[in-house]
Structure 1
């Protein structure tokens, strides 16, 4: 449903065409969020994993819990997962990443690091928000493990049926 607006003068018509409506202040530009050391911080989450991520300009090193990414994530798929935000934003090997991640397994931790890197990049360069949002990296994947129910072997699996 769209709102109809009547233009009473040429100035009003120009405002309607350009998107600037008289009497309404234009949206303020989003400012980058950086600390005193020039870093941007964000939290990423996936399953039960939580990653705290700091991003700063550098040569592209990624350090997770004090280890290099190749040591921490031995599987190439997981390493590819955490570099995706840089590749999509065309910022590969332009930022150093330091993060701590706790909880969950390696796959969930890689997803949490990717989510944190994406959010930290947006905090550092707000112009990247549209690109990363379109790629789906700013959306937190809310799927978690379903809890076990009483009277069941697992969340949904019943105990084995015995006729006798």
Structure 2
């Protein structure tokens, strides 16, 4: 029985808040896919398209590679941030010397450490809100 040829890819993980994106970077021209949906359907809108294509534009690799992504957790905005982080990390694995400095300057390789602040006891339901005090 003939063995199937394995599709070669570069794997990287991107994170933002509670979202985790597992990114596979494949060589060739194919449709970008996120969670089994075309990327235009998963992240509709021009603003979002500009953001997720930024790593490809900075490294001048658009059209040479395509991505398949599984992303879980968080909201759409943090998932977008995780996907961008994962794409940037996979491009660095592809060619570290030329891409790392470019992507680092653009801030795409830095994991954003900001997380949701925990809710505190006695604050009236929110992290920083103080309970209302009686006037008299």
**Band of TM-score, shorter chain:** 0.7 to 0.9
Conserved in 2, the CA contact under 8 Å of 1:85 and 1:118? yes
Q: Are residue 134 (structure 1) and residue 76 (structure 2) matched?
A: no
**Hey, what's the Cα distance between the residues in 2 that align with 1:39 and 1:102?**
20
TM-aligned CA distance change 1:125 to 1:61, over 3 Å? farther
Q: CA deviation at 1:119?
A: 0.3
2:64 alignment partner in structure 1: 94
**Hey, what's the Cα distance between the residues in 2 that align with 1:158 and 1:60?**
53
TM-score (norm 1): 0.74
TM-aligned CA distance change 1:38 to 1:54, over 3 Å? same
SS at match of 2:128: coil
Structure 1 unmatched ranges of 5 or more: 1-35
CA-based RMSD: 1.4
SS at match of 2:41: helix
Greater relative contact order (Cα < 8 A, sep 6+):
2
Q: Are residue 82 (structure 1) and residue 47 (structure 2) matched?
A: no
SS at match of 1:59: coil
- Extract structure 1 runs of 4+ deviating beyond 3 A: none
TM-score (norm 2): 0.88
**Hey, what's the Cα distance between the residues in 1 that align with 2:134 and 2:29?**
62
Work out which of the residue numbers 147, 156, 159 in structure 1 matches 2:118: 147
How many residue pairs get aligned? The number is 129
